[in-house]
Structure 1
Amino acid sequence: MRVGLLGAGRIGNVHAQAISSHPESELAAVSDAFETNAQALAKSYGCEVRSSDEIIVDSSIDAVLIATSTDTHSDLIEAAAAAGKAVLCEKPVDLSLERASACLGNVGDKASGIMIGFNRRFDPSFGALKAAIDAGEIGKAELLSITSFDPAPPPVEYIKVSGGLFRDMMIHDFDMANFIMGEAPVSVSAVGTSVVDPAIGAAGDVDTAAVTLIYADGRLAVIKNSRRAVYGYDQRVEVLGSEGLLQAQNVLENTLVKSTTAGVNSAKPTYFFLERYMPAYKAEWAAFVNAVQGKTDMPVNLHDGVAALAMAEAATRSAQSGQPIAMADILKTSGRGEAA
């Protein structure tokens, strides 16, 4: 499968590694708004530098991976789908729920064949937890807890264009909640503050947040995010069920545990997201290849991407208003009118 990569920044380089390491895909061309980025990546992987438009219309390229700035995602998804390309697009679909919903409508029946890059679904530990729930190992899942703390906040200049913590950071956790619970919630309640860096608050965002999701049958999910955890990249999931508890713990820098009279000590969590999730990115790409080859359905499609963005929109409104937000109201105002 010949692949065009749109975007040669940090995440583009991650995807280039996954594409090139897969035995059934070849990185054929790359584009980027900054040609020096594209040239550097092309040199590393032996591919051509071309414009995004050229890549999309090239009939010899089978698939495109979109890793450009978020404000270009919907346009590129629509153009690639119209050209008959298989598409994997980084999250989120757009910063605007209305634009993302329009994209969903514009691609029509091709939406189920467009994959959105929620790589955490492909983390081995989270995948094992989901499989155990589906197998009924703890009965009915009743209470989900997701912890997602970054080791340090990004630059404030990034914060200003990110769309906010709920759309930029917690959107991964919204998708994880949908993945684990098997459906979207009916209500979202959020609180957020800026206690890590006052400049983040001055930029109109929050850096510390908690969200409660309520499901139609009474199940609950709680998501906690922080832009600062000085000990490392903290990524944990816990599910309490009617017959037991499942926990997916952090990946540590090493497995050494020292036990003495002074106490028991182990290593810290890995510090950077690439250390934690590079296996997930490779598994994500392998799943995409399988789906394009018709071996499976697309595991995370455009409908899923819009559903997570709708939850981010609900959380943003809830944090601003101090009130719970019904998902039905969000979907009505976005023009969708129904849950995913």
Structure 2
Amino acid sequence: MNTIKFAVAGLGRIGKIHLDNLLQMEGVEVVAAMDPSEECRLYAKNNNIPFITSSYKDLISMGDFSVILICSPTNTHADYVEMGALAGKDVFCEKPLDLSLERVLEVLKVVHESGVQLMLGFNRRFDKEFKKVHELVKEGAVGEPHLVKITSRDPGAPPVSYIKQSGGLFLDMTIHDFDMARFVVGKEIDEVYAKGTVLTNPAIGEAGDIDTAVVTLTYMDGTMAVIDNSREAAYGYDQRIEVFGSKGMVQANNNFNDSHRLYTSKGIEGALP
């Protein structure tokens, strides 16, 4: 088996998760890491990464890798993807690619002309439950889809410092649900109506964002989808989807750490999602 050499740019919360996963995979070697934070560089050092730097340019110049994972702040994504593509590296980038559609199209043109592979972090397409829903809809098991319902609630909001540069709830969190709404039924969106507010943390509102939202989507064929979001679900990570169609309905519900149920005189207890 050929070993694929990786570099990781950005070792914040998600970058650390990606690094830890890569280090457990066969046929993968992480040879370089980059982050401006000393604490994050120390994390890489403690994981025995050979080349560690605070500069993305230095990371690209190091060169001894074929794939780069970009897990840095949103406002760096477009430039980092472009530089990686021009250096001939395949790129995995966390979403979103950029907050400007014009800039996204510019970067995609560079990627195409460079002949490299680019993948964005829309992980729910690979979740086995959501993937099964997609497959059943595609096979016609529910007939013609009429309604899609998506619930997406996080166990807690990211730091306000992150939220300020993330693009906001719709571009940072709901973006996964926009992707899933299209992916699960294979349709494009014609109309969007969204309503949001601040209900969990006033500091999020002070930063110019919202933490709770409901979105109604109308597909090109007139069918509809509804998404509800919250940054803070007290009971854990809540991800559910439902597709209702002319012949039936298919649902995917939350995964749990275990499936136990404790029945007592006080009620029924189980694991959090």
Choose 154-163 or 176-185, whichever is displaced more.
154-163
- Residues 1:239 and 1:48: Cα distance change in structure 2 (over 3 Å): same
Q: Which residue of 1 aligns with 2:19?
A: 16
Q: Distance in 1 between matches of 2:251 and 2:67?
A: 36
Higher strand share: 2
- 1:101 counterpart letter in structure 2: L
Q: CA deviation at 1:94?
A: 1.4
Q: CA deviation at 1:251?
A: 1.3
Summarize deviations over 1:14-66 as a string: whole Å, max 9, x none. Answer: 11122222212210110111133123223214432134223323443111111
Q: Distance in 2 between matches of 1:42 and 1:155?
A: 25
Q: Which residue of 2 aligns with 1:48?
A: 51
The 8 Å contact of residues 104 and 111 in structure 1, kept in 2 or not, is answered as: no
- 2:211 counterpart letter in structure 1: D
Q: CA deviation at 1:128?
A: 1.5
Question: Of 158, 164, 167, which residue of structure 1 is paired with 2:162?
Answer: 158
Question: Of 203, 221, 225, which residue of structure 1 is paired with 2:225?
Answer: 221
Q: Distance in 2 between matches of 1:267 and 1:3?
A: 36
Q: CA deviation at 1:125?
A: 1.1
- 2:193 counterpart letter in structure 1: S
Choose 208-217 or 181-190, whichever is displaced more.
181-190
Q: Which residue of 2 aligns with 1:251?
A: 255
Quick check: 1:186 aligned with 2:190? yes
Q: Distance in 2 between matches of 1:36 and 1:262?
A: 46
Q: Which residue of 1 aligns with 2:208?
A: 204
- Please give the secondary structure, in 2, of the residue aligned with 1:73: helix
Question: Of 126, 135, 141, which residue of structure 2 is paired with 1:122?
Answer: 126
Q: Distance in 1 between matches of 2:130 and 2:20?
A: 22
Summarize deviations over 1:209-252 as a string: whole Å, max 9, x none. Answer: 01111111122111110112111111111111221111111112
Summarize deviations over 1:73-121 as a string: whole Å, max 9, x none. Answer: 1001111111111100011101233322322233334588210011121
Q: Which residue of 2 aligns with 1:232?
A: 236
Question: Of 30, 33, 38, which residue of structure 2 is paired with 1:35?
Answer: 38
The 8 Å contact of residues 86 and 114 in structure 2, kept in 1 or not, is answered as: no
Question: Of 80, 88, 99, which residue of structure 1 is paired with 2:103?
Answer: 99
- Please give the secondary structure, in 2, of the residue aligned with 1:192: strand
| Residue ranges of structure 1 left out of the alignment (5+ in a row) | 270-340
- Please give the secondary structure, in 2, of the residue aligned with 1:161: coil
- Residues 1:47 and 1:122: Cα distance change in structure 2 (over 3 Å): farther
- Residues 1:39 and 1:268: Cα distance change in structure 2 (over 3 Å): closer
Choose 91-100 or 6-15, whichever is displaced more.
91-100
Higher helix share: 1
- 1:25 counterpart letter in structure 2: V
- Residues 1:200 and 1:266: Cα distance change in structure 2 (over 3 Å): same
- Please give the secondary structure, in 1, of the residue aligned with 2:156: coil
Q: Which residue of 1 aligns with 2:72?
A: 68
Over the matched positions of the two proteins, sequence identity in percent amounts to 45
Question: Of 199, 204, 212, which residue of structure 2 is paired with 1:195?
Answer: 199
Q: Which residue of 2 aligns with 1:300?
A: none
Q: Which residue of 2 aligns with 1:25?
A: 28
Question: Of 86, 91, 94, which residue of structure 2 is paired with 1:87?
Answer: 91
Q: Distance in 2 between matches of 1:255 and 1:111?
A: 46
Summarize deviations over 1:278-299 as a string: whole Å, max 9, x none. Answer: xxxxxxxxxxxxxxxxxxxxxx
Quick check: 1:241 aligned with 2:223? no
Q: CA deviation at 1:181?
A: 2.1
Q: Which residue of 1 aligns with 2:149?
A: 145
Higher relative contact order at CA 8 Å, sep ≥6: structure 1 or structure 2?
1
The count of corresponding residues between Structure 1 and Structure 2 is 269
- 1:3 counterpart letter in structure 2: F
Q: Distance in 2 between matches of 1:56 and 1:81?
A: 10
- Residues 1:60 and 1:200: Cα distance change in structure 2 (over 3 Å): closer
| Residue ranges of structure 2 left out of the alignment (5+ in a row) | none
Q: Distance in 2 between matches of 1:55 and 1:199?
A: 35
- Residues 1:169 and 1:212: Cα distance change in structure 2 (over 3 Å): same
Q: Distance in 2 between matches of 1:119 and 1:171?
A: 11
- Residues 1:54 and 1:161: Cα distance change in structure 2 (over 3 Å): closer
Q: CA deviation at 1:261?
A: 6.7
Summarize deviations over 1:135-171 as a string: whole Å, max 9, x none. Answer: 2222222211110112233333333222111011111
- 2:217 counterpart letter in structure 1: L
Q: Which residue of 1 aligns with 2:82?
A: 78
Q: Distance in 2 between matches of 1:159 and 1:59?
A: 32
